[in-house]
Amino acid sequence: MRNLAWINGSVCNLSEASISLEDRGYLLGDGVYEIIRVYNKTPFYLSAHLERIKRSAREIRLPLPYSPVEIEAVITDLLKQSGCIEGYIYIQLTRGPAPRDHLFPVEPKPSMVFYVREMASPGGADAVKPGKCITLPDERWLNCYIKSTNLLPNVLARQKAAEAGAVEAILYRAGGIVTEATRSNVFAVIGDKVRTHPESKLILSGITRRIALDILEELDVPSAEEAFTIEDLSSASEVFLTSTTMEIKPVCAVDEKPVGNNKTGPVGRSVIKAFWDKIAEHCPKE
């Protein structure tokens, strides 16, 4: 497939795509984004992602310059032109180019860019293979429910994790409360319940998080949107992460302390299997 970009109406190769130096997304981080997986040529949970970018944009007072119908048309066309089978669509909306000033431009020209990139789905044994996590203080701003491009804290924490041989850094705030990880939500089986941080301004309302909660309900596994601490985490029998790009990722150790018996547990396995069923249902092979 070809990795293609769509910038305010024109399509080009992603590697040649450029934006204005004075774009407020570049100078001020004044933008929001979404990533949507494509399985079997079909975007997965597209409308949930479009709802979320609309919400993020509203929270930073940035009107979407296109209607959902127009956005879906752009995506359909881009997927077709690129020949994408397995990949992802990236959307970034910024307050556009303007002479640098914190203040909103008097006549804002919001800029919306899309690109599509190849991305293999792990599938098979790799998908259930667990990974290690570290824990780090959550040093981000207090409005993490807005999916903004202000990702430097996430970048730095995730890099630390990788250098410690971990797939993710689980973040905690005062009192050791686990919020989420640098690019995923965190689920833990504590006692007889699967718990994850409730919706709040401190976490992103993950689409895969919501799918996982739905799956748990469908599977009749007791679950609750209840915060837990780093200490609770050390007594969890299972931990897994959810995100659009990582899908459902089991965790076998936190800060080098094994979780459960160091393997992907039964709840994690069931959720992964049900998640694959959802992909097959929503994005069927032709």
The catalytic residue positions are 147
- Return contacts of 188-192, CB within 8 angstroms, 24+ apart: 188/228, 188/232, 188/233, 188/236, 188/238, 188/239, 189/236, 189/237, 189/238, 189/239, 189/265, 189/267, 190/228, 190/232, 190/233, 190/235, 190/236, 190/237, 192/222
Instruction: Report if residue 221 touches a copy of itself, rule: CB under 8 A.
Output: no
Instruction: Report if residue 44 touches a copy of itself, rule: CB under 8 A.
Output: no
Q: Which residues pair with 189 in a beta bridge?
A: 194, 238
Instruction: Report if residue 158 touches a copy of itself, rule: CB under 8 A.
Output: yes
Give CA angle at 228 (224, 229), nearest 5°: 170
- Rounded CA separation 195/7 (Å): 40
Nearest-approach distance from CB 123 to a copy of itself, in angstroms: 20
Instruction: Report if residue 15 touches a copy of itself, rule: CB under 8 A.
Output: yes
Nearest-approach distance from CB 29 to a copy of itself, in angstroms: 4
Binding-site size for a copy of itself (CB under 8 A) equals 53
Choose the stretch contacting a copy of itself; rule: CB under 8 A; options: 22-30, 192-200, 216-224, 265-273: 22-30
Instruction: Report if residue 183 touches a copy of itself, rule: CB under 8 A.
Output: yes
Return residues touching a copy of itself (CB under 8 A): 5, 7, 14-15, 17-31, 33, 60-61, 90, 92, 99-100, 102-104, 113, 115, 117, 137, 139-143, 146, 148-156, 158-159, 162, 182-183
